[in-house]
Amino acid sequence: MFARWLYYFFVTLSALGLIGVLLAGFAALVIYSNLPSLDTLTDYRPKIPLRIYSDEGLLIGEFGAERRNVVKISEVPEHLKQAILAAEDDRFYEHGGVDYLGVLRAAHSNFSAGSVRQGASTITMQVARNFFLTREKTLTRKFSEALLAFKIEHNLSKDKILELYINQIYLGQRSYGFAAAAQTYFGKSLQEINVAEAAMLAGLPKAPSGYNPISNPKRAKSRQIYVLGRLHKLNHISSEELSALEKQPIPIKKQSTVFAMPADYISEMVRQVIYDRYQEEAYSKGIKVYTTIRQLDQEAAYHALRKNIIDYDRRRGYRGPEAYIDLLKYGTNQEKTLDDALDEVSDSDDAYAAIVLAAKSNAVRAYRKGGETVEITGEGLKFAQKFLSDKKEAGKKYITPGALIRIQKDKKNAWHIVQLPEIEAALVSLDPNDGAIRALIGGFDFHKNQFNHVTQAWRQPGSSFKPFIYSAALEKGFTPATIINDAPLSFSATQTGSQLWEPKNFDGKFEGPMRMRTALVKSKNLVSIRILQAIGIQYAQDYITRFGFEANRHPPYLPMALGSGSVTPMQMAVGYAIFANGGFRVAPYFIKRIEDEKGNTLEQFQPVTVSNGAKRVVDPRNAFIMTSMMQDVINHGTAIKAKQLGRTDLAGKTGTTSNFVDAWFCGFQKDLVTIAWTGYDEPRSLGNNETGGRVALPIWMDYMGPVLKGIPMAEYKLPNGILATKINSSTGFRESAGDVVEYFFNEQLPPLSDSPSLIDQAPKVTRDLKDQLF
């Protein structure tokens, strides 16, 4: 009886097994017949981001959901292939898509551990999932994955499958593929990485966020050690090599260092242009854009702006911690609290965010993103010392445990407490001969403030606008020697467009009659107002449009003479370029050409240049004389500090608005125009005596110095129709024994006289307008 029942049991079991096999086979046939085509693999077209390059071909920006550099399997270092296989699929070249031994090994490991610790997906199965399937954990999806792996193995070579895996897999930080990850984490090409770096990259596919060496360096190191152990077990490295590699530190580079130079603002300008042309395809078709930006110029601009804005900010004093973090948010798990808090705060170049763990008057201990604890003592506390007092005043933000601060290393590797400036700044530099932008920094930190102050900030230019009014005066018959009275004036509301106005000079002094050249050099406000009165406000408003300014942003009232209208730094660059190039209007541009992913040119920009098609908008004699006058601003005037650069071919004008709200320096060398601006986004005073010459000029100098180093001194050639002659500096009249040389249009020469009276024998323009000028 027992034998019969046993017989029936096995027959039934066998029948059920056979039915199960038949059903599984039928299901496999049904699913297999519905599996997707492999065209995506055989004609691999990955999403390649928009890439932006400098004039030299250096990568300065990248936009796209997937950062990727496609490589061929022959370009992949052998030690990286070994590391990938050791970590993910050591029997890759032996199985047919599904590794049955691996499945059994994983099942045993998971059963022994009582939880899922090992997977059994082969590289081929991962390729199937990444290209065609979802990541849902269901039996149907896993079955489809296995069948698709068989299909892939049947149609593609092992090397091709591995190549697809190496290029497609996600490895964190928006990096897809190992080539992109090598650049992101190490700033290296795939061919440059060593065994230790290869092992760290090979450990990422298991959990790209969990083993990310930027955000989780400790876990990344433990995963790397596991991969190195696997390499040793598979006899790819010796015991001695294993020991040495485990101890080797991995220098992780931050994401921003993937780019050759800091150029976020110009990259964003390019992105907007390319998106307008190509819409969403801009981010996936591998478009390459080559700009006019030069590495030397861009780096010099970046460092000049940051250095001087930080110097200004230090003069204003420490403001206290940025915020306070609840260190007990996650109970005893303080590290999670700290990491979560710092994840929401971005570093600013080498000014790192840190959270204070302990604070005394002579020492501060703080936690940096990535698990590093730093000690700040001595000189490193000096800037913030008042906020470490034991006696605390109500309402003041002190440095206490939980405070979010900024720290920075000095040249001796000692940590200092610093802060991010509230003030903003901008610098733009272009070639006045064709408008090519050589450097552009739209603000102190793009990640803190994406507002581009070069193109979007409408600010009052102050005295940096005076050259355009003086240029208009030259067209009206004035000369640099015209005598104008620097004396008090008072105006009604109808004359100013607002209220009763009694303008003053910056220094509060009135110096009486002086030459127009001297007035510009000393930036005399009362002289500028008298000039505008004399030439006519409407005429001046129309005249400035030649330089690219918008008439409606410069209301026709007398304060226009002092720069009360609105301009952008880019507009000022275009305007000053006309003086630098001898009177031609050129349009600024920053894109040279656009290529597709294969290097075929899609668009090539052909700029209108001084020598080819640019429109002359100002008499070359006018441009020459204005340049000469602005050279004296540097040689003798408000920008005399720029003489430290040791050049004789520089010209420019400082600008400071009322109450020190905006500070400018606009200047040029014959082949390079540079504008520097500083101010607060919400306009307020920069502080007493924080003038254009003190705040903006140093930025300009620290940029122009390195950029012009080694460049021969330029000469401004005397145009036809202009005469240089000696004059009496007190009267402005020609004299054979005159004490200065001045330039005049031939038709505007002042008369010769042994003893002229100040007005009666003056040029006609001066006689006719003596009431306004005096």
For the annotated catalytic residues, the residue numbers are 88, 463
* 696 neighbors 676 (Cβ within 8 angstroms): yes
Mutual orientation of helices 78-88 and 158-168 as an angle, nearest 10°?
90
* Three-state secondary structure call for residue 352: strand
Per the DSSP assignment, residues forming a β-bridge with 744 are 723
Instruction: Look at residues 431, 428, 438 and name the one whose alpha carbon lies nearest to residue 665.
Output: 428
Instruction: Look at residues 13, 36, 68 and name the one whose alpha carbon lies nearest to residue 148.
Output: 36
Instruction: Look at residues 411, 295, 384, 425 and name the one whose alpha carbon lies nearest to residue 692.
Output: 425
Task: Give the whole-angstrom CA distance, residue 409 versus residue 299.
Answer: 20
* 150 neighbors 97 (Cβ within 8 angstroms): yes
**Sequence-distant contacts of 474-477: CB under 8 A, at least 24 apart:** 474/619, 474/622, 474/625, 474/626, 474/745, 475/543, 475/619, 475/622, 476/534, 476/535, 476/539, 476/765, 477/748, 477/763, 477/764, 477/765
Task: Give the whole-angstrom CA distance, residue 339 versus residue 8.
Answer: 64
Residue located via tokens 């226009």: 560
Instruction: Look at residues 264, 283, 83, 253 and name the one whose alpha carbon lies nearest to residue 184.
Output: 253
User: How many angstroms from the chain centroid is the CA of residue 675?
Assistant: 17
User: What is the secondary structure of 539-584 as a DSSP string?
Assistant: HHHHHGGGGT--GGGS-SSGGGGGT-S-B-HHHHHHHHHHHHTTSE
The sign of the torsion formed by the CA atoms of 447, 450, 453, 458 equals negative
Helix, strand, coil shares of the chain, percent, nearest 5, are: 45, 15, 40
Side chain identity at residue 455, one-letter code: T
